[in-house]
Chains A and B, each alone.
Chain A
Amino acid sequence: MHLKLLQEKRRSLHDFVEGASSNTYLLVLSFAPLFALGTWKTRVSAPMRIGNLIVMVVLLAGALATWLYKRSEKRLDRVDLNLRDFQRLLLQFIDRSIAFFKGIKFWFAPLLFFGISLAAYPALNHFWSQSLCIVALALVFLCFECSVWMCDLGRVRELERRKIEIESLLEEMDGSK
C-alpha cells in the first residue's frame, strides 16, 4: 500500500516536470511561424524570403530532432534493470548521442546561421557595401560555428570515453577480460 501511495505522488511530480521541459519546444515552435510570416511578407526580396524559409524549416527540424533525442534519453529512467541490461541501454544511448552530435547538430547551426544571414543581408546592404556585408557575416559565422563545434567536440569526447568504460565493464562481465 505504501508503495502505491509513493507511486501516485511520483506520477504527479513527473507530470509537472514534463510540462516544464515541453515549454522549450513551445518556445521554438512559436518562432517558426514568425519566420513563416516573414517568408510571406518579404515576397519582393528573394534572399530574405529564402532566408526566412530556411530558418523556419531548420527550427522545425531542430525541434523534432531534439524531441526524438529527449525521448531516447527518457529510456535511461529504467535504472531498475539489472546491471548488464542497464549498461547495454547506456551504450545504445551513447551511440545515439554521438550520432546526434556528430551528424544532426553539426549541420543545425550553420544552416540556421545561413538562413539568418540570407534574411538579414538585404537590410545590412543598405548600410554597408556588398563585400563588407559578406566579410562581416562570414566572420560572425566562423566565430559562431567554431564555438558550437568546440562545445560539441568536448561533449563527443566525453561520450566516447564513457563508451569505452561501459564496453570494458561489459567485457568484464562476459568474462572476456
Chain B
Amino acid sequence: MERQDLLQEIALAVWTALPNFRGQASERTWVYRIAHNVAITFSARQKRRDGVEQPFDAIAPDPAIKDNSPRVVLIDAIQQLKPVDQQLALLYLEGLSGTEISEVTGLTTDNIGVRLNRLKRSLASGLDRKGTADERTSGSR
C-alpha cells in the first residue's frame, strides 16, 4: 500500500513539475531528481507517523523471493545505510553515470566517486560477514 502511495506521489510531483522542465537535464535525470526528492520527504513523513525509520519502499523485497537470495541480501545491506548513501547505491545500481548521479543529488563527481568506493568496500565486507555467518549456521544444522 505504501509503495502505491509513494508511486502516486511521485507521479503527481512529475505532473506538477512539468511546466518547469526546460530540457536543462535529460528526462531520465529529471524524473530521478523528482522521485528521490519525493521519496525522501515521504520516508520522513512515514517515520514521523510511525515513529520508526522507514526504508525506501521501492526497494522492499518481493516476498516471493527467498530470504537468502543475493538480491534480498544486497537490499538488506543497502537498507542499513544512511539515506544519502542509500540513494547513491540505488542510483549506481540503476546504471546512472557519475555525472548523472551528480545532477540528481547535487554532490560533486569527485565526492560521488569517493563515496561509491567507500560504499562498495563497506557493502562487500558486510556481505562477506553475512555469507560467513550463514555458512556457520547451515554447517551447525
Contacts and interface: CB of A to CB of B under 8 A. Distances in A.
B16 interface: yes
A94 to B, nearest CB: 12
B37 A86 contact: yes
A3 B28 CA distance: 13
A83 B84 CA distance: 9
Interface residues of B, number: 29
A52 B40 CA distance: 47
Q: Which of A79, A82, A169 has the most CB of B within 10 A?
A: A79
A154 interface: no
A172 B107 CA distance: 11
Interface string A145-177: 000000000000010011001000100110101
B99 to A, nearest CB: 12
Interface stretch (B17-25, B56-64, B66-74): B17-25
A14 interface: yes
B34 A79 contact: yes
Interface string B79-106: 0001110010000000000000001111
A10 B106 contact: no
B78 interface: no
A77 B20 contact: yes
A83 B20 contact: no
Nearest to B102: A82
Contacts of A175: 111
B51 to A, nearest CB: 12
A129 interface: no
Interface of A: 3, 6-7, 10-11, 14, 77-87, 90, 158, 161-162, 165, 169, 172-173, 175, 177
18 contacts: A3-B21, A3-B27, A6-B18, A11-B19, A77-B16, A77-B20, A78-B17, A78-B20, A79-B13, A80-B21, A83-B33, A83-B36, A83-B40, A90-B41, A165-B44, A169-B40, A173-B106, A175-B111
